[in-house]
């Protein structure tokens, strides 16, 4: 959520930068400023009324002490009227604050100046590419066919148990899945991230804290009886660890990692491009998250990008990095880099990670602050990234490492799997 003071001080710049998202935010920005001016005016009236009431109460007390009861009773009637006026102003203030908050919740984060303008993922900028695309043997298969051939993932069984998008991993498929999770966590903790085991359901306040609500409400599974939501990513419970928190400057930076299953309704996702592991309703992901001093958050973002590059280099998968354009940028993000692995059998790129800097956008919702060197409270910057999302990494391994004799296991994973070939 943008800060009102920031909006007032940077109105034209914010409107121009939000235009990169293909949004004309002029009306919303003007309305937010007007709401805040109204709020200030009501607050002033409320403060003045309370001050007048307090002064009268003091005067009434003095009149009673001096025996001037009649004068005191006349003034007491006025204080009764002032109390009613105070209640009216308090209600008006609450209504205005609520209306302002609801409006601010609808305004997305302001893109960083280096975010390219654009409408769709076709307008994203490629910033880096590494790894050779392997030449496969004749008759090479996409991962969903390999999964069936070697009996390592059963999509039909998942459909029987739950529905489409809930695969069942079997035998070496399950062990490879577990190996990837352990390997990712080990890489992250070796880099200084503290591991957390996190809840898989969150309350409404947590959803609002990280910006999934109200923006992605239709994409989340809602447990209505308890008003809880299945997490779409570990980002939600991990970031909400710090909701309503005041840190010391010396506490920064904070780096955490965690593995969770993720649940996404992915409403309206159909077609060949979502076959197999390409898009699921339940999938595993290892997340990294940082809470940073504002002066260091973009250095931290660069460090997170380098960290994920190192993991994909270890897996020896061909990948590229994209800087997302305004039209493809997430609601809460100021700048996002996507990592994509090349799927040789499908002849297409598959997203395996998004790494984002939210600047103060989430921290303002969360009331996540630190006390700076001058003793003033200041909003932190939050960042998070996938390190990594498993389904498409697994798809990339199955397809790129396939041979006529079976599927090789990346060398770095063999100590985790206990085998070097699926055959």
Judge whether 382 is annotated as a binding position: no
DSSP-derived letter for residue 419 is -
Q: Kindly report the three-state secondary structure assignment for every residue of 89-115.
A: HHHHHHHHHHHHHHHHHHCCCCCCCCC
- Long-range CB contacts for residues 308-313, cutoff 8 Å, separation at least 24: 308/339, 308/353, 308/355, 308/385, 308/386, 308/387, 308/388, 309/128, 309/130, 309/339, 310/187, 311/184, 311/187, 311/387, 311/388, 312/130, 312/131, 312/339, 312/341, 312/352, 312/388, 313/130, 313/131
Q: What is the torsional sign of CA 193, 199, 205, 208? A: positive
Judge whether 92 is annotated as a binding position: no
Judge whether 130 is annotated as a binding position: no
Angstrom distance (rounded) from CA 203 to CA 226: 9
Q: Which tokens belong to 226?
A: 């308890």
Judge whether 266 is annotated as a binding position: yes
Task: Report the 10 Å Cβ neighbour count for 322.
Answer: 21
Q: Are 177 and 390 in contact (CB under 8 A)?
A: yes
Angstrom distance (rounded) from CA 188 to CA 168: 27
Angstrom distance (rounded) from CA 381 to CA 91: 33
Q: Strand pairing partners for 321?
A: 128, 339
Query: 368-371 and 245-248: which strand pairing?
Result: parallel
Q: Are 167 and 296 in contact (CB under 8 A)?
A: no
Q: Cis omega before residue 357 (within 30°)?
A: no
Judge whether 348 is annotated as a binding position: no
Judge whether 210 is annotated as a binding position: no
Angstrom distance (rounded) from CA 50 to CA 55: 9
- The Cα-based distances of 67 to 61, 315, 334 in angstroms read 10, 90, 67
Q: Are 337 and 321 in contact (CB under 8 A)?
A: yes
Which residues participate in the annotated binding site for ATP?
Answer: 264-266, 351-354
Which residues participate in the annotated binding site?
Answer: 233, 264-266, 287, 351-354, 384
Which residues participate in the annotated binding site for L-serine?
Answer: 233, 264, 287, 384
């Amino acid at each position: 959520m943008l800060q009102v003071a920031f909006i007032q001080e940077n109105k034209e710049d914010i409107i121009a930068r939000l235009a990169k998202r293909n949004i004309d935010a002029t009306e919303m920005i003007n309305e937010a400023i007007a709401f805040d001016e109204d709020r200030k005016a009501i607050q002033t009236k409320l403060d003045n009324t309370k001050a007048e009431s307090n002064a009268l109460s003091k005067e009434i007390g003095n009149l009673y002490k001096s025996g001037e009861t009649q004068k005191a009773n006349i003034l007491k009637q006025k204080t009764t009227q002032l109390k009613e006026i105070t209640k009216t102003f308090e209600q008006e203030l609450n209504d205005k604050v609520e209306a302002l908050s609801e409006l601010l919740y609808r305004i997305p984060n302001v893109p960083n100046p280096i975010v390219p303008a654009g409408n769709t993922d076709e307008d994203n900028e490629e910033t880096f590419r590494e790894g050779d695309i392997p030449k496969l043997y004749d008759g090479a298969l996409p991962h969903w066919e390999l999964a069936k051939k070697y009996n390592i993932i059963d999509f039909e069984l998942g459909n029987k148990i739950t529905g489409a998008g809930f695969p069942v991993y079997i035998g070496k498929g399950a062990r490879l899945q577990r190996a990837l999770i352990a390997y990712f966590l080990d890489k992250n903790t070796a880099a200084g991230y503290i591991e957390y085991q996190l809840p898989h359901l969150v309350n409404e306040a947590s959803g609002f804290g990280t910006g999934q609500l109200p923006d992605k409400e239709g994409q989340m599974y809602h447990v209505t009886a308890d008003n809880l939501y299945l997490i779409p990513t570990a980002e939600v419970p991990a970031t909400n660890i710090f909701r309503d928190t005041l840190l010391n400057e010396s506490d920064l930076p904070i780096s955490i990692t965690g593995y969770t299953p993720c649940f996404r309704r992915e409403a309206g996702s159909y077609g060949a491009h979502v076959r197999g592991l390409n898009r699921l309703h339940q999938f595993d992901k290892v997340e990294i998250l940082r809470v940073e001093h504002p002066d260091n958050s973009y250095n931290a973002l660069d460090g997170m990008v380098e960290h994920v590059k190192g993991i994909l280099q270890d897996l020896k998968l061909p990948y590229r990095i994209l800087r997302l354009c305004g039209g493809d940028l997430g609601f809460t993000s100021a700048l996002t880099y996507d990592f994509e692995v090349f799927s040789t059998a499908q002849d297409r790129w598959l997203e395996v990670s998004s790494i984002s800097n939210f600047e103060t956008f989430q921290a303002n919702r969360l009331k996540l602050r630190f006390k700076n060197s001058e003793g003033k409270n200041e909003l932190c910057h939050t960042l998070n990234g996938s390190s990594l999302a498993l389904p498409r990494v697994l798809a990339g391994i199955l397809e790129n490492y396939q041979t006529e004799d079976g599927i090789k296991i990346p060398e770095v994973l063999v100590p985790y799997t206990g085998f070097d070939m699926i055959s």
